[in-house]
Every structure is written in C-alpha cells, then in structure tokens.
C-alpha cells in the first residue's frame, strides 16, 4: 500500500510540475544548477465540472477568487486543485483543516470528499471569517459535510479523536509545530499533511517534517510555498 500511495503522490507531483515549480529543498534552497525552480509559461486550464453540483461548487470558488480573496490569505487556485486531487486520490474520509478563512480551501477539499464519502473538520478563531465560511459552504452546497469548530485551534484540536487522512495547516505560522505534534499521532499511516505559507514557518517546523524518518516531505514553489508530507506506512 505504501508503494501505491507513493505512486499516487509522485504521479500528481509530475502533473503539477506543468503549472508549478517543484523542489525537494526547503524554502530558500536552490534548485538544480543553483537556480530556483520555475521559469517559462505553462498551459492553464480551468477545472471542468463533471455534473451540475460540481458546476455549482466551482462557480462559488470562482466567485471567491474574484470577490472575496482580499485579506483572506487563501491558497492559489492551483494549490486548491492539487489539494482536491490528492485528497480524492488517497480516498480520504476525514480531512482536518487548521485555518478556515472564508472557506475557500475547505470547498476544494469538499469537492474530493463528495466522491470519497468523507467529511471536513475545520478550525478557526475569528467569528467574522467563520461567518463568511458558513455562508460560502452553504452556497456551494457542501455545508452538510463540514464541521466548523470555533476557538483557539491549539486547544480545540485536542478534542479530535478520529483518525485523520489529510491534515491541512494554514494558520498562525509560529504554531505549526504545535499543531503537528498534537495531530501527527492521529494521521493514519499513508495519510498526507499539507502546510501553506511554508516559507514563513521557521526552522523548527521545517526540521520537524524533514528530519523524522517516518515522514517524507516535498516542497512546492507556488506562491508562498506549500509542503506535502507523507506519513509512511511501516513495512514488513
């Protein structure tokens, strides 16, 4: 199963390379030949809806991109599409998101969870953002698969008892290591951990996801950067 999961991730990374710079080095590192990754234009294609419900969801995402992105620090669309792709590819049943914002990344997750029959648990401390997110989840028709937890996530995540298939961290950057330490035991072997704005997290978190032999991490160079970490299965 580890081999299958790794093939899924590597395949997705190869596809993503068309639209992103992919590097195996932490933020600030150099790519081959001492250059940062990227360069050159890549073909861009908007996601195509498979049915009317998906069309409705994508329409809401486009509206959020155009009219609600200011001040929200949401992931770029390409990152959202990748989160959806990999969440669906690993058959995730439970996604935990730290940092709801206006629901943008959560809706991308829900596109995958519609297919896998899963659910999203998302945490935020700001009632204004949470109110927007609730409205947007409802507009997208995915509110029935979302649990929005209000409060300081450093405390509220300790209430999570269920296994986690995908963990997405996009909150206070100095708190990433604490979130990881508290939730990593719940991430199932073969599960994925994503961290947004990886370039702002500091060396402790980078070390936590790169020095642990039970984790495999790659860094994606889009925008402020996104890390993708696999929690390895134990081989025989």
User: Is the torsion defined by CA of 135, 137, 140, 145 positive or negative?
Assistant: negative
Summarised one tens digit per residue, pLDDT across range 79-126 is 999 999 999 999 999 999 999 999 999 999 999 999 999 999 999 999
- Highest averaged pLDDT of the listed ranges 30-34, 164-168, 225-229: 164-168
Could you tell me if 144 and 171 are in contact, meaning their C-beta atoms sit under 8 angstroms apart?
Answer: no
Is the pLDDT at 204 greater than 80? The verdict is yes
pLDDT band at 205 (very low <50, low <70, confident <90, very high): very high
pLDDT at 6: 54
- Number of C-alpha atoms within 13 angstroms, CB side, residue 208? 19
Q: What is the rounded radius of gyration, in angstroms, for the C-alpha atoms of the chain?
A: 17
Is the pLDDT at 7 greater than 60? The verdict is no
- Give how far Cα 2 sits from Cα of 101, 136, 159, Å: 33, 36, 29
- Judged by average pLDDT, the poorest of 10-14, 62-66, 97-101, 155-159 is 10-14
Measure the CA–CA gap between 53 and 64, rounded to whole angstroms: 17
Is the pLDDT at 177 greater than 90? The verdict is yes
Higher pLDDT, 99 or 5: 99
Higher pLDDT, 25 or 179: 179
- Judged by average pLDDT, the poorest of 6-20, 78-92, 147-161 is 6-20
φ/ψ bin of 178: left (φ > 0), alpha (ψ from -120 to 50), beta (otherwise): alpha
pLDDT band at 220 (very low <50, low <70, confident <90, very high): confident
Please, which residues have CB within 8 angstroms of residue 121's CB and are 6 or more apart in sequence?
94, 95, 96, 97, 146, 147, 149, 160
Q: Mean pLDDT across the stretch 132-138? A: 97
pLDDT at 8: 55
Q: How big is the CA angle at 169 (ends 28 and 29), to the nearest 5 degrees?
A: 10
pLDDT at 105: 97
Q: Give the architecture (CATH level 2) of 2-24+49-231.
A: 3-Layer(aba) Sandwich (3.40)
pLDDT at 17: 43
Q: Mean pLDDT across the stretch 169-177? A: 96
Domain locations in the chain as residue ranges: 2-24+49-231
pLDDT at 49: 77
């Amino acid at each position: 199963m580890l081999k299958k999961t790794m093939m899924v991730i590597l395949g997705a990374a190869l596809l993503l390379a068309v639209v992103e710079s992919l590097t195996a080095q932490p933020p600030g590192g150099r790519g081959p030949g001492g250059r940062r990754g990227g360069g050159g234009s890549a073909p861009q294609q908007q996601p195509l809806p498979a049915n009317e419900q998906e069309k409705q969801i994508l329409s809401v995402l486009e509206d959020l991109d155009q009219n609600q992105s200011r001040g929200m620090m949401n992931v770029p669309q390409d990152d959202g599409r990748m989160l959806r792709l990999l969440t669906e590819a690993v058959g995730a049943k439970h996604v935990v998101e730290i940092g709801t914002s206006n629901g943008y990344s959560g809706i991308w997750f829900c596109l995958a969870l519609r297919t896998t029959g899963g659910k999203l648990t998302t945490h935020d401390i700001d009632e204004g953002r949470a109110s927007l997110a609730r409205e947007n989840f409802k507009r997208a028709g995915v509110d029935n698969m979302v649990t929005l937890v209000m409060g300081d996530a450093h405390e509220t995540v300790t209430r999570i008892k269920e296994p986690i298939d995908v963990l997405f961290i996009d909150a206070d950057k100095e708190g990433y290591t604490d979130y990881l330490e508290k939730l990593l035991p719940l991430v199932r072997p073969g599960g994925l951990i994503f961290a947004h704005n990886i370039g702002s997290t500091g060396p402790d978190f980078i070390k936590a996801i790169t020095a642990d032999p039970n984790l495999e991490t790659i860094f994606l160079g889009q925008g402020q950067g996104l890390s993708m970490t696999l929690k390895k299965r134990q081989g025989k």
